[in-house]
Chains A and B, each alone.
Chain A
Amino acid sequence: MPLVYCGACSHGPGITARADRADPAKRDALYTALRRMGDDIRATRPDALVVVAAEHFANFFMNNMPAFAIGMADFYEGPIEDEAFLKIRRTRVPGNKALSRRLIEQVMQTVDVAYAEEWKFDHGISVPLHFLTPGYDLPIIPANINCQGPPLAPLARAWAFGEALRAAADAVPERIALVATGGISHWPATPDSGKINEAWDREFLARWAANDRAALLSYSDAEIYRDGGQGGFEIRTFIAAAAAARGAKGTIEFCEPMPIFAVSCTVARMAVAA
């Protein structure tokens, strides 16, 4: 089936961990937007949700770092973080090993993706799922782009990964939804946490909504680091979603810089036909 849903959202751990320190009105507006995204995903009656994440050393480390990986298990566990810190209860999340395998075989036609029969979710997936599928009743297929340990795959390869995910979703009979999660500019877990380059974020999101491939791929990593910080490397997940949308245009449903959450909190959707 053609991809039924394609979107992107933030995943900063502060969104739940530091909820009580945020402006209540802005926080609640973000939560509402995220929950509405969950409603929109469910409305497309997906059989599985592919989450394109940028994990933070829950599974992959510099001893054996895949540029791209996809989970292939019937269940996953998360969050890996201290439950009291993240304020999300650790739970088992359903997967679909057989479906994962078929998707991976398709992705491998064009991208040499790693697969993983074990996968622990960190906040990069657990925070979005806390709002999108709070009942943990939709099979999740985690995918990862290394955005933490350089050298990182070039942006054009993130695009190729998104294209490959789209081709794979279209090739299976199941109804597949896809959500990318990442930050735009941010300097997470550093003394600069809370710094946000709003202008850079809005320019990036304009390019994303226009699904302007050339503009999205025009950033160098040096520019991203300078203007968007270490966390800015996670634009790779947004870029993969844009590619997966295959030319569809996007809508920025929510974007609010929230320093206590360390990012421009974003909820966005591509108009793929469902």
Chain B
Amino acid sequence: MSLYYVQKLIYELNRDPRTRARYAAERDAVLAEYELTAEERAALVAPDIGLLYVLGVNGQLLMHFAALHRIEWPDYLERMREGLRKHGPVREGVYAATGYEGVP
């Protein structure tokens, strides 16, 4: 697990236009700069929002990573729910789900 580096890459993408431009132009080179497992790398590239959520990515980072990929809010929420169904509970961090599904 290298959740720290997954989150760091997302943090850099969210806040730095140059990182975003590089990520669009030479994604593999950017990814190589972070200590990522194969599972984490694949989840970022897909992007598999559900798996990233289960891996423990902080929602305050993940929400903007989803927006960067033009994933609308209801779809973002549904992808996290799908991740829980597919991969089980959140493995790390403080962004666990509690089972509430009140607002689509």
Contact = CB atoms under 8 A, between A and B. Distances in A.
Interface of A: 17-18, 56-59, 61-63, 80-82, 85, 120, 148-150, 187-195, 225, 229-230, 259-260
- Top 5 A-B residue pairs of the complex, sorted by shortest distance between their CB atoms: A189-B59, A194-B103, A56-B60, A195-B100, A189-B63
Contact of B15 (A58, A195, A230): A58
A230 B73 contact: no
Nearest to A192: B100
Majority DSSP secondary structure for residues of B touching A: helix
Q: Which residue, A56, A192, A195, has most C-beta atoms of chain B within 10 A?
A: A192
Majority DSSP secondary structure for residues of A touching B: loop
Contacts of A85: 64, 67
Contacts of B97: 190-192
- Chain B's interface size range is 20 to 34
Nearest to A221: B94
A62 B4 contact: yes
Contacts of A225: 94
Contact of B14 (A57, A188, A193, A229): A57
B61 interface: yes
Interface in B51-92: 53, 58-64, 67-68, 73, 77, 80-81, 84
B80 A191 contact: yes
A80 B63 CA distance: 13
Given A187-B98, A191-B97, A193-B77, A260 B103 contact: yes
Q: Which residue, A190, A194, A230, has most C-beta atoms of chain B within 10 A?
A: A190
A230 B11 contact: no
Given A189-B59, A191-B77, A230-B59, A150 B103 contact: no
